[in-house]
Every structure is written in C-alpha cells, then in structure tokens.
Amino acid sequence: MIKIDNLHKKYGKNKILTGVDLEIPEKGIFAILGPNGSGKTTMIKSILGMVVPEKGDIFIDGQKTHSNGLYRKNIDYLPQIANFPGNLGVKELIKMIKDLRDTKADENALIQRFGLTPFLDKKLSNLSGGTKQKVNLVLTFMFDSQIIILDEPTTGLDPVALLNLKELIAEEKAKGKTILVTSHIMSFVEGIADEIVFLLEGKIYFKGSIQQLREKTNEVDLEHAIANILKENNA
Amino acid sequence: MLKILKYSFYDLIRSRWSYVYLLFYLILGFVLLFLNNDLSKAVITLMNVIIILVPLIGTIFGVMYYYNSKEFTELLLAQPIKRSSIFIGQYLGVALSLVMSLVIGLGLPFVLYGLFESSAIWDFSLLLITGAMLTMIFTALAFNIALYNENKIKGFSYAILLWLFLAVIYDGLFLLSLIIFETYPLDKFTLIATVFNPIDLSRILILLKLDISALLGYTGAIFNQFFGTSIGLFSALGMLLLWIILPVWNIKRKAQKKDF
C-alpha cells in the first residue's frame, strides 16, 4: 500500500504539486491521469525518491520512505523516457541491472514475449524508440516486486506489443500486485484501470472508479469525460 | 558503490578517449626522454606539463562524463541504490581510469629507460602522486560544476573557466597583488593564497622535493622558509588531500538534494 500525505513540490517558482493526499490500495490497477504538466511524473518520482519534495511524507506499506532509496527494492519502475547508456548491448544492460539489484529475475520469458531475441547483442543506441521501450518493459517486469509503477508504458509500442503489455499487466494484477500507471491513451486506461485519480493544477481533482467519473460528468466514454473536466477548468 | 565504480570504470576503459589520453602520455614520456636524455631533467619538464595539463584533462573528462552518463545515472536512480553510492562511484570510476592512464602512460617510458636503477625514482613517484591527486581534485570539481548546472554548455564553460583561473589567471592576479602591496609584509598572504590553489600547491610540493630553490619562486621560498622542506612537503600533501575531500563531500551533499 502506498500512502501520500500532503505532498508539495515546486521547481523554482513553478508549483507542480500543491498538497496531494492519496491512498493507493493494496491490490489492483490504479491510473493517474491529468493534462500535460499536471504533476503526474513528479508524483511518481516523489514516490520513488528521485524527486525530493518540499513538504509531505510518503509511506509504503506503513513505512516512511527513507532517503537512502533502499526501499526501491520492492518497486519495479518503468521510466517515461527509455534512456539507456548507448554504448551497452541489450544483454549487457539486462545483466547489469540484475547484478545491481541483486534479486531474482526472469527475463527470458519477457524477451520471447516482446520478440527481442534478435536485438540482444545490438547496442542500445542503434535501437528504435519502440524497441527501446520494449527493453524498458523487460527491465521493469523481470523482477517480481509487489509494487509496479509504469510511467506512460505505451509510448512507441506497436499494436502487437501493446496487446502483450495489456496481457502482462493483467497477469501481474492476478498475482495480487499494486500497479500504478500513467497514460494519455484513454482507451488503454479504460481497459485496465480499477480506479483512477485525476490530477489538476497540482491537486487531486477526482478519485474513484471510471463509472463514477462518467456519472459525475454525464459523459459516456472516458475521453469525453476527461475533456469535459479540462474544459470546465479552462486548463 | 563498488558495483557502480566497476561499471563506470569498464565503460570508460572501453571508450576511445581513455586510449587517446594514454597514448598522449606515452608519446609525451618517450619524446621527453628522447630530447632530454636524462631522467631527472625529464622529470622537471614533465612537472610543468603535468601541472597544467592534468587539471585540464581531469576537468574536461569529469564534466563530459557526467553529462554523457545522464541516462545511466537516471537508470541507477530508480534502483535500490543510495544516491551517494551512485555519484561517488561514478566519480571514482572516472578519476581512477584517468589516474591509470597517467601512471601507465608516463610510467612505461620511464621504466623502460631505466627508472628503477636511477636516483630519480622518488622524484618521479612524487610527480605521479601529485598528478594523481590533481586528477582527483579537478574531476571532483568538474562533477560539482556539472551537478549544479543542468545546461551542458554552461557547465562546460564554467569548468574551463575554473581551470583557466587556477592554472593561469590566479598566478597573474597573485603577482599583481604582490607588486601593489609590496610595502606590506606579505608572508602570510602568500602562504594562504598558495593553499587556495591546488595547482600552485602541487608545483611547490614537487619543487620542494626536487630541491631546486632557483625554481621555487617567491611562494615556494616562503613555503620552504615557513615549514621547512619535510614539514612543507607533508603539509602541502595534506592540503591537496583536503582539496580532494571537500569537493567529494560536496558531491555527496548536493546529490542528496537534487531532483532527477
């Protein structure tokens, strides 16, 4: 379980998060939505301790997060932009991350699943954006942690890989994991999320199920419901 | 931290630049020995080169590596690894690979020339130790600059300026102030001013060991007079050590507070 308590963060004068309180339940898929620059990534990075908040606390399984970052052992994180050291090969990178984390990992099934076998010996700088994202997914899902955080997991993926990803997320959910995901692809979110949080101007605007959001905005599909919120707030 | 150090080190060893650097020192070593034909004379020439060049290369390599390994750093930051381990590990990776290039690049020609039978061996060792320390100091300073500046161009400019200031401008300003204030007692001022520049400090350190009073200059003479040769040597070494410890400590401090 993740609990966020009164989280504040600004970059210079630019206030990104202004008092976020959130409780993410033990099991299920939790989607964080919001317009560009609403603080989705900042919130995720705060949970991971990559961003140092001005104010507020974050608790994971009741334990306050420590600045040494060792609690990340129980979190699998997929960064938004798949940036890797260019002079490493795919295989080397996987090996390195396994070595650094020092936990059990099962990468072979995932490599098969995303069809990465022909790329294993290629340098990361020579891979296309979509292939890099697949590598990114392998690196995230090869560990068996209780919490999975995915920042824009669909970026650059082809339809086959996207289906694979959806299946993968469903499988992880079935194992009883907590999955936190941000995305701009509403159909993707609609298909997988149990609960959504809508961030607007650094605050939580809405939290609940997709059904509740539809009722609140009198719209049939999620895309229109979100657009409705944004228009109302001139965002 | 050792794992990070290992990966940074391997990464650098595989890159072309380490070899260019190594080759440069090899050529420099052979050419100097060829021209001087004498080990102890070559050591003096080498000192002048090391004192200017090693800081420059440490600075540029440090900034370059930091900016180039941004992706690697971001990847590491999401792993269960302490921030200080990431940054100190990377710093040591760069600094140690540079030190290795220096020691091998200069050591090899001198050893082939019969360093071990020569009396210059201690002078030469001190030269390498000073070179190693200057590398550690300037790589650490470069990391500091890069940590404070997100903008690459700015970071590079500040790093080059820092080198230019400490290697060239500092001495000019120092000399100027000596001339302007010549009627005042300047011993203490000189001593303090020297301590604040690791390049000056290294120069004095080596000259004290070589015992060439003609080359010591005003600052060196004051240093020598104040501390005496052996205490002077150790206090200069101690100051250089401080010049490593403080920037490294600041890397750790700054990295702890930075957002990624």
Nearest of A76, A79, A58 to residue A182 by alpha carbon: A79
pLDDT at A70 exceeding the cut of 60: yes
Picking from B64, B79, B83, B254 by the largest number of A CB atoms within 10 A of its own CB, the best residue to mutate is: B79
Percentage of residues in chain A having pLDDT higher than 90:
9
8 Å CB contact of A97 and B79:
yes
- The three-point CA angle A35-A36-A37 to 5° equals 110
Nearest CA in chain B to A92: B7
Burial (CB count within 10 angstroms: exposed 0-12, middle 13-18, buried 19+), residue A84 = buried
> pLDDT digits over A20-56, tens only?
888 888 888 999 988 888 888 888 888 888 888 888 8
Which runs of E-coded beta strand occur in B27-152?
none
Distance, in Å, from the CA atom of B208 to the CA atom of B236, rounded to the nearest integer, reads 10
- The alpha carbons of chain A give a radius of gyration, in whole angstroms, of 18
* Phi, psi for residue A125 in degrees, rounded to 5: -70, -15
The alpha-carbon gap from B149 to the nearest alpha carbon of chain A, in Å, equals 14
Picking from A42, A96, A143 by the largest number of B CB atoms within 10 A of its own CB, the best residue to mutate is: A96
* Phi, psi for residue A24 in degrees, rounded to 5: -105, 120
The alpha-carbon gap from B107 to the nearest alpha carbon of chain A, in Å, equals 30
8 Å CB contact of A85 and B256:
no
Mean pLDDT score across all residues of chain A: 86
8 Å CB contact of B71 and A83:
yes
Nearest of B146, B158, B167 to residue B64 by alpha carbon: B146
**A101 → closest Cβ in B4, B79, B256:** B79
A204-212, Cβ contacts within 8 angstroms, sequence gap of 24 or more:
A204/A20, A204/A21, A204/A22, A205/A34, A205/A229, A205/A233, A207/A22
Picking from A46, A71, A83 by the largest number of B CB atoms within 10 A of its own CB, the best residue to mutate is: A83
Low-confidence ranges of chain B (pLDDT < 50): none
**B78 → closest Cβ in A70, A79, A88:** A79
SS3 A205: strand
Query: Chain B partners of A87 at a C-beta cutoff of 8 Å?
Result: 11, 14-15
Q: In this structure, what token pair is assigned to residue B7? A: 């990966």
8 Å CB contact of B260 and A45:
yes
> pLDDT digits over A104-157, tens only?
888 888 899 899 999 999 988 888 888 999 999 998 999 888 899 998 888 888
pLDDT of the residue at A6: 86
How many Cβ pairs closer than 8 A exist between chain A and B?
61
pLDDT of the residue at B233: 81
Query: Chain B partners of A45 at a C-beta cutoff of 8 Å?
Result: 259-260
Q: Within 13 Å of residue A90, how many CA atoms lie on the same side as its CB?
A: 24
Per the DSSP assignment, residues forming a β-bridge with A14 are A11
- CA A128 from chain center: how many Å? 21
Which runs of E-coded beta strand occur in chain A?
2-11, 14-24, 28-33, 55-60, 63-64, 75-78, 147-151, 178-182, 195-200, 203-208
8 Å CB contact of B259 and A50:
yes
Distance, in Å, from the CA atom of A6 to the CA atom of A17, rounded to the nearest integer, reads 9
Write the CB contacts of B90 (distance below 8 Å, at least 6 apart in sequence).
B4, B5, B8, B65, B66, B69, B73, B143
Nearest of B198, B2, B15 to residue B88 by alpha carbon: B2
Query: Chain B partners of A84 at a C-beta cutoff of 8 Å?
Result: 71-72, 75
| Chain B residues with a Cβ under 8 Å from any Cβ in chain A | 3-4, 7, 11, 14-15, 69-72, 74-83, 256-260
ipTM of the modeled complex = 0.81
- CA A204 from chain center: how many Å? 17
The alpha-carbon gap from B242 to the nearest alpha carbon of chain A, in Å, equals 26
pLDDT of the residue at B163: 95
Query: Chain B partners of A47 at a C-beta cutoff of 8 Å?
Result: none
The number of beta carbons lying within 10 Å of the beta carbon of residue B91 is 27
pLDDT of the residue at B165: 94
Nearest of B4, B2, B247, B27 to residue B144 by alpha carbon: B247
Q: The CATH number of A2-232 is which of 3.40.50.150, 1.10.357.140, 2.60.40.10, 3.40.50.300?
A: 3.40.50.300
Nearest of A212, A191, A83 to residue A135 by alpha carbon: A83
The alpha-carbon gap from B14 to the nearest alpha carbon of chain A, in Å, equals 9
**A83 → closest Cβ in B74, B79, B257:** B74
Helix axes B83-112, B121-148, angle to 10 degrees: 150
* Phi, psi for residue B122 in degrees, rounded to 5: -70, -40
DSSP codes of every residue in B150-202? -SHHHHHHHHHHHHHIIIIIHHHHHHHHHHHTTTS--HHHHHHHHHT-HHHHH
Distance, in Å, from the CA atom of A125 to the CA atom of A135, rounded to the nearest integer, reads 12
Query: Chain B partners of A48 at a C-beta cutoff of 8 Å?
Result: 78
SS3 B61: helix
| Ranges of each domain in chain B | 2-257
Distance, in Å, from the CA atom of A155 to the CA atom of A65, rounded to the nearest integer, reads 29
Enumerate helices (H) and strands (E) in chain B, giving the number of each. 12, 0
Distance, in Å, from the CA atom of B222 to the CA atom of A137, rounded to the nearest integer, reads 64
| Chain A residues with a Cβ under 8 Å from any Cβ in chain B | 11, 45, 48, 50-52, 67-73, 77, 79, 83-88, 96-97, 99-101
pLDDT of the residue at A235: 52
Helix axes B70-77, B83-112, angle to 10 degrees: 140
pLDDT of the residue at B213: 64
Residue B60, H or E segment = helix B39-68
Distance, in Å, from the CA atom of A90 to the CA atom of A76, rounded to the nearest integer, reads 18
pLDDT at A63 exceeding the cut of 90: no
Distance, in Å, from the CA atom of B39 to the CA atom of B8, rounded to the nearest integer, reads 35
The alpha-carbon gap from A205 to the nearest alpha carbon of chain B, in Å, equals 25
- Buried residues in B43-53 as b, exposed as e (16+ CB within 10 A): bbebbeebbeb
Indicate the residue type of A85: P
